[in-house]
Amino acid sequence: MSRAKGAALRLLVVDDDRYLLLALRQTLELAGYRTDIFTSPLEALAAAAQQNYAAVLTDIRMPEMNGMELLRRLHGIDADLPVILITGHGEVALAVRAVKEGAYDFLQKPVDEDVLLGALARAVERRSLVQENRQLQESLSASRSSRSTFYGLVGAHPSMRELYSLIETLAREQDPVLISGETGTGKELVARALHALGAAKGRGPFVAVNMAAIPAEMIESELFGHERGAFTGAEYRKSGKFEFAGQGTLFLDEICSMPLHLQGKLLRVLEERAFFRLGGNTLIPLKARVVTATNRDLEYEVSLGHFRQDLYFRLNVLPVSIPPLSERREDIPLLAQNFLDEYNALRDGAEIVLESALLEQLMQRPWPGNVRELRNVIRRHCILGAQTEASTGPVLQTESVQSMTLTNWKEHMAREEKHYLELVLSHCGGQVSAASIMMGLSRKSVYEKIGRHGIDLDRMRQEEAAPSGTIAANSTQIP
C-alpha cells in the first residue's frame, strides 16, 4: 500500500512484547499507516471505544487477556472491525477457531513484512466496503422513510410507506398475493408494482382481468382458452389469459365475483400449476404469478357460502391490505396536487392551482370512493374551473346533513353519478367520445350510464349552439 492511500488510516496494535510492538509500528508507519500500540488489552479496548480504527493487529497469547477474549470484546464495540491475530508455534488450531468466531485472519510468528502488509491492505479494504454499504443502506432507508410516490401509488402516510416496503418484499416471491381494499384505493396499482419489481419483469406481460366485467358463461373460456369446436360458436382455437400471461403476472380483480362452480377449477389450477383449454387434452403449464384482489371481506363471503374456504386459503398466502383514504387524510393535499399536475400537463393555457378553499373542503369529505373519487373530483374541478373568470376559481359545493335529501347509499350514489355525467356531457356538448376521454371510461360504459339515467343527449347537443357563457355561468360550483 502506498503512503498516500494509507495516510489517513489508523491501526490498533496489541502485544505484551514491547520490542515487537515498536518494530511493528515502524514497519506500519513506513507503509503510511497511523499506528497506536498497547501492551495492555484493557487500554486497547478503551482506545477502541474512543477511536475509529481501520483494523486491529493483536497477539493471541497475552497474560492480562488473550486474543480470543479481546476479539469478542472488540466486536462488542464494533462488530465490523477486522481483527488479525498473531500466533506462535502450536497455536494455529486456536487461530483457526478464532477465524470461525469472527477474526479476519491470522499470521504466524515470525511475521513476514509483505504478508503482514498484504493482510492489512485486504482488511482495511473490506472495512471500507462494509462502511460504504452501511451508508448506502442508511441512505436508502432514509429515502424509503420519506418517499411519497411509489410506482403510481401516492401517499406519505406511515401506512402507505409500510405498504411500499411490503410490496418490495413480496415482489421477490412467486407465491399468490391477495390484495384487499375498498373500491378506489388502487389495488391494480399495487398489482402492477409487484409485477414491475418482481422476477416477472421483462419475462412476461401484466395481464389484468376484471372478473365482475365478464359474463359468467364466458369466464372459463376467457381464463383458460378453448379449442376449436369446444362449444357452439368456437370456430377457432383461442388462448386464455392464463396462457397469454406466460411468465408474467395474471391479475384477477374482484375475485369475489367468480362463480362458485369455477372456483374449484381455479383452485385445482393453482395447486397443480397446469390447466387444459376447454375441449382440449393438452396439459398447459401455468408459469405466471397469480395476484388477486377483492373489495369485499372474503372471510365473511366464506361464512356465507359465497366463496370456497380452500380457495381463500390458497389465494391468501401473501396478504396485502390497502388503507382507505379516510384513514390517511394527511395524503389528500398530496394526492390532489398530483392529480392537478397530471391535468395541467395534458392541457394548454394557464396553470390551474389548488385553492385553499377547495383543499379545506376536500379534507372534510368522507371519500367513500377513496382515491378514485378524489381524482374524479379534481378532474371535474379542472374541467369546469377552467371556464370561469372568477379570480378564486370554483370550489366544491357541499350539502349539510340537514339540507340534503336522506336516501339509502345506492340511491345517493346513483344521483351523484347522474349529476356528474350531466355536467361532463354538457361541457362536451353532448359528444360521448369527448366525455368518455375526460372521464376515463369506454364509450360503451358512458352510453350504458346515459341510458340507465335517462339523460337527454339531443338536448345537450342543441345547447352546443348556445353562447359559451351559458355553461360557464352555471359551472361556478361543483357538487
Instruction: Tell me the three cell numbers of residue 356.
Output: 385553499
Size of the chain, expressed as the number of residues it contains? 479
Return the pLDDT at 469: 37
Among 99, 109, 23, 113, residue whose Cα is nearest residue 67: 99
Beta-ladder partners of 210: 253
Diameter over CA atoms, the chain: 105
Return the pLDDT at 423: 82
Q: How far apart are CA 182 and CA 180, in angstroms?
A: 7
Helix (H) or strand (E) holding 145: helix 113-146
Give the type of residue at 179. I
Return the pLDDT at 133: 77
Q: How far apart are CA 382 and CA 351, in angstroms?
A: 10
Give the type of residue at 307. F
Could you tell me how far CA 406 lies from the centroid of its own chain?
40
Return the pLDDT at 147: 79
Phi-psi bin for 429: left (phi > 0), alpha (psi -120 to 50), beta? left
Return the pLDDT at 317: 94
Return the pLDDT at 196: 92
Q: How far apart are CA 246 and CA 200, in angstroms?
A: 9
Q: How far apart are CA 455 and CA 446, in angstroms?
A: 11
Could you give the domains of the chain?
A: 3-139 (3.40.50.2300), 152-323 (3.40.50.300), 326-478 (no CATH)
Q: How far apart are CA 111 and CA 24, in angstroms?
A: 10
Q: How far apart are CA 406 and CA 278, in angstroms?
A: 50
Instruction: Tell me the three cell numbers of residue 132.
Output: 460504504
Q: Per the omega criterion (within 30 degrees of 0), is the bond before 394 cis?
A: no
pTM, two decimals, is 0.58
Judged by DSSP in three states, 290 sits in strand
Beta-ladder partners of 226: 238, 278
DSSP 3: H
Place of cell 349552439: 465
The pLDDT profile of the chain, 479 residues, written as one tens digit per residue, is: 343 343 468 999 999 888 889 999 999 999 899 999 999 999 999 999 999 899 999 988 888 888 888 989 999 999 889 999 888 766 777 778 878 888 888 888 888 899 999 999 999 998 888 888 777 666 555 555 557 889 999 999 999 999 999 999 999 999 999 999 998 999 999 999 999 998 766 678 999 999 988 888 889 999 999 888 888 887 888 899 999 999 999 999 999 999 998 999 999 999 999 999 988 889 999 999 999 999 999 999 999 999 999 999 999 999 999 999 999 999 999 999 999 988 888 877 777 888 888 888 899 888 988 999 999 989 888 887 644 333 334 444 444 444 444 556 667 677 778 888 888 887 777 778 778 777 777 778 888 888 888 888 877 776 554 443 333 333 333 33
Place of cell 491475530: 85
